[in-house]
Amino acid sequence: MMQIGKMGEFQLDVLREVGNIGAGNATTALSHLIQKEIDMTVPQVKIISFHEIADFIGGDEVVVIAVFLRVEGDCPGNMFFILDIPSADYLLEHLMGTLPKRSEESQFTEMELSALHEIGNILAGSYLSSLADFTKLNMQPTVPSLAIDMAGALLSYGLIELGQAGDYALTIDTAFFEGNENVRGHFFLIPDPDSFETLFTSLGVPLHGDY
């Protein structure tokens, strides 16, 4: 198994490109969905210890909407699509033409949840299918699951598989935003530790050292 900590700058660059391709496609899909232009950041590839992951989103206790799915096939891993509550409101308003009304910040109606679920499904699907095309690897998403809760509680779930192998995770994080920053969210791809070798081999990238 490849040591996550021993990757060179070249390997990290490749992973950044992986994030770029996947998130680029997903962002385009989102842009079509709400008929707005969406920009994205250059993906950040980071090796982080478990307690740091929620800091990306603003802290352990920040309430977020997360769509989670397992990636199965040649290159297994976990994937999250994360939105904050105001972004979800904005998306729903543009998709369904109604302003969400609710007493508590994170109490969505069944219909709204279903719509958010579907958005997550479409975006994660386009992320993965572009990645699968690019790498020629077989990658299949499981049916996604949606939850609204503390970021730390949700993201830690995606790290369990890794927890059995080491104390660090490699995440490919791409943030996206609408022009006026009404929609902000993240894609996290967290490949299983064994998947890096498959990924690099299929792309013809050497497994060790800098190139």
| Interacting residues toward another protein by CB under 8 A | 50-51, 54, 59-61, 63, 68, 104, 106-107, 142-143, 145-154, 156-157, 159-161, 163-167
Q: Minimum distance between the CB of residue 66 and another protein, rounded to whole angstroms?
A: 8
Give me the half-sphere count of Cα atoms (radius 13 Å) on the Cβ side of residue 86.
Answer: 8
Query: Which CB, 25 or 198, lies closer to another protein?
Result: 198
Kindly calculate the radius of gyration of the chain based on its CA atoms and give it in whole angstroms: 17
Of 47, 54, 30, nearest to 122 (Cα)?
A: 30
Q: Minimum distance between the CB of residue 48 and another protein, rounded to whole angstroms?
A: 11
The type of residue at 186 is H
Q: Minimum distance between the CB of residue 186 and another protein, rounded to whole angstroms?
A: 16
Query: Which CB, 6 or 32, lies closer to another protein?
Result: 6
Place of tokens 């409101």: 89
Query: Which CB, 63 or 205, lies closer to another protein?
Result: 63
Q: Minimum distance between the CB of residue 70 and another protein, rounded to whole angstroms?
A: 8
176 touches 23 (CB < 8 A): yes
For residue 121, with 0-12 CB atoms within 10 Å meaning exposed, 13-18 middle and 19 or more buried, which class applies? Answer: middle
Q: Minimum distance between the CB of residue 117 and another protein, rounded to whole angstroms?
A: 11
The type of residue at 35 is Q
Q: Minimum distance between the CB of residue 101 and another protein, rounded to whole angstroms?
A: 16
Query: Which CB, 152 or 185, lies closer to another protein?
Result: 152
Angle in degrees, 0-180, between the axes of helices 85-96 and 9-34, rounded to the nearest 10: 40
Query: Which CB, 99 or 143, lies closer to another protein?
Result: 143
User: Within a 10 A sphere around the Cβ of 102, how many other Cβ atoms?
Assistant: 11
Tell me how far apart the alpha carbons of residues 204 and 207 are, in angstroms, rounded to a whole number: 9
Give me the half-sphere count of Cα atoms (radius 13 Å) on the Cβ side of residue 117.
Answer: 12
